[in-house]
Amino acid sequence: MGEFTLDLNDDQKQVRDWLHGFAADVIRPAASEWDEREETPWPVIQEAAKVGIYSLDFYAQQFFDPTGLGIPMAMEELFWGDAGIALSIVGTGLAAVGVLANGTEEQIGTWIPQMYGDANDVKVAAFCSSEPDAGSDVASMRTRAVYDQAKDEWVLNGTKTWATNGGIANVHVVVAVVDSELGSKGHASFIVPPDTPGLSQGQKFKKHGIRASHTAEVVLEDVRVPGHCLLGGKEKLDQRLARARERAQSGGERVKNAAMATFEASRPAVGAMAVGTARAAYEVALDYARTRTQFGRPIIDNQGVAFQLADMRTQIDAARLLVWRASWMATTGKPFESAEGSMSKLYASETAKKVTAQAIQILGGNGFTREYPVERMHRDAAIYTIFEGTSEIQRLVIARTLSGMPIR
């Protein structure tokens, strides 16, 4: 078990500096172009694959870092470069986490490599949970999975929305209802292999921010997948559903569903993304305040500007500490008894929105133009308080955890 520390070791520092160099030299120069194009930056993803950043091996090394800091450190540096491009690079990771959290060793070894492809033929994956009428309210999910015992196949029908890489992915991980009477406890996750008939891309969304990341609906019409594509296997699912039914009848403790398990594992990583965006905006604002002169002196000499920068830096550091604590707890198996994962995501997300807005204010009219990156960073930051659990949902999770109420 790794001890909690605020000091990165030499290997971690080397990885951090390598990622920072890639973000500065490859991601940032391309950020404005792909934001305007609103397209998946395949050339940048391929460059990331060539140097080993976009690969199963890299994320596995960071995921299994015994201190828990590998993933948040990587997310912060990449999203410091640009949120839209970084999300295109790391978006496959959410689907991979879904398999890691719920799949067997054989499923992990079979499907995760297919999510990434290789440097000569990069692939992406999509995690499909949200629906038009079931975003935060996962218990209202309508996508159904029905088991065809005669063919040992699952038949999926429904529509997913807000899916990163949805429709363009090589592998889709789809959360569906297998027992509607159990609400969110009756969900399971399924692998939809490449080129499976019946899966298609619906509407592609034109977004306010993170525009280099592909977001779309995924339509499932009589999609048939083999029985081995049920993550965890049918025996494990049947046992889990049986326990859920018993507990429902007795009023016992809740059972986590597949989607919630994935989101709980990924929330500190989203917090780290927000920290990266906030830090990038703060650094632009700090540099501008040092060099921009008004009334014969740099504007950082004005207390109103200096105090804003002081608050920005304090909030960023506080957010990073919450993210690191939650990441360390998750890695070392310490339970989130006070919803520390949700705390980290909530505070970091709100910090990113606030800091990027303050950066625009410090740059004044320049900050409101696309000639400076803080305008894009502010648009990008808005997503952190929305996806993978809105800030309101995070507060609900924290409040119910503290009060001992069930989280549905």
Which positions are catalytic? 388
CA 31 – CA 11 distance, rounded (Å): 28
Whose structure tokens read 């950020």? 31
Instruction: Tell me, rounded to whole angstroms, the distance of Cα 48 from its chain centroid.
Output: 18
Residue 191 neighbours by CB under 8 Å, 6+ apart = 99, 107, 111, 171, 172, 173, 225, 229, 231
Strand pairing report for 215-226 and 199-204? antiparallel
> Which tokens go with 396?
């609900």
CA distance 314 to 188: 41
Report whether 123 contacts 114 (CB < 8 A).
yes
What are the φ/ψ torsions at residue 204 (nearest 5 degrees)? -95, 130
Q: Where are the beta strands (DSSP E) in 282-364?
A: 293-294, 297-298
DSSP letter (8 states) at residue 144: E
How far apart (Å, rounded) are the C-alpha atoms in residues 275 and 371? 23
- For residues 144 and 261, give the distance between their C-alpha atoms in angstroms, rounded to a whole number: 19
